[in-house]
Amino acid sequence: MSADAIAPVEEIPTDGTLLFTMRTRDGDGATDEAIEVVLSRRDDNVVAYRNYCKHWTDVRLDKGSGAAVRDDELVCQRHGATFDRESGVCTFGPCEGAVLDNVDIRVADETVYLVEEEFEFGSLGGDESRDLSSGGGRIGFDGV
C-alpha cells in the first residue's frame, strides 16, 4: 500500500488542528468524494479524525482555521461537545461516549503520511463545497 505525504509534523499546531482533504480513489486513479480530515498533535503524537462532530455529522470541527482546543480536547463550537485529542472519545456534551472516526496515518522521518487504502491525499485545507454546517436550521418553517 502506498502512502501519501500530508505535511511535516512541525506544521501541525499543538494548540489547534491542521485540515486536509482526502479523496476516494478508483482503479483509474480518478477521484470523486472529498472527505475532510483534521490532524491533531500533542507533543510528537499525531492523530487524524474525520472532520465532523458525532452529534450532528454536518457540523465541522475545523472550519478551515483550526478546530478549537481547550484543556487538551477538541471542541465542537456548535454544541460545546469535547473530544479527547488522543482517543477521539467525546467526554462532554450531547454525544458523550461517542468516538470520532479515525483516519489511518503514520509518521516517518518527521512527516505525516496518509495510509488509508481507499483514499489518497487531496490537498491541505478544506473543501468548501462540502461544508454542510453553514446553512440554516434542520427544520424548515414555511410560515403556515
pLDDT tens digits, residue range 37-46?
A: 988 888 778 9
Rounded CA separation 15/13 (Å): 5
21 is a domain residue: yes
Q: What is the CATH number of the domain that holds 38?
A: 2.102.10.10
Rounded CA separation 39/104 (Å): 11
10 is a domain residue: yes
Q: What is the pLDDT of residue 35?
A: 80
Q: What is the pLDDT of residue 27?
A: 57
Q: How many domains does the chain have?
A: 1
Q: Which three cell numbers stand for residue 92?
A: 462532554
78 is a domain residue: no
Rounded CA separation 51/40 (Å): 11
Mean pLDDT value across residues 98-114:
94
pLDDT at 17 over 60: yes
Rounded CA separation 30/26 (Å): 6
- Give 140's pLDDT tier (boundaries 50, 70, 90): very low
Based on DSSP, count helices (H) and strands (E) in the chain, helices before strands: 0, 11
DSSP one-letter code for 135: S
Rounded CA separation 81/83 (Å): 7
76 is a domain residue: no
Task: Supply the pTM of this predicted model.
Answer: 0.81
Mean pLDDT value across residues 98-127:
91
Q: Which three cell numbers stand for residue 61?
A: 470541527
Percent of the chain past pLDDT 90, that is, above it, reads 48
137 is a domain residue: no
Q: Which three cell numbers stand for residue 122?
A: 487531496
Q: By mean pLDDT, which of 13-22, 69-78, 123-132 is the weakest?
A: 123-132
Structural domain of residue 47, as residue ranges? Answer: 4-67+99-126
86 is a domain residue: no
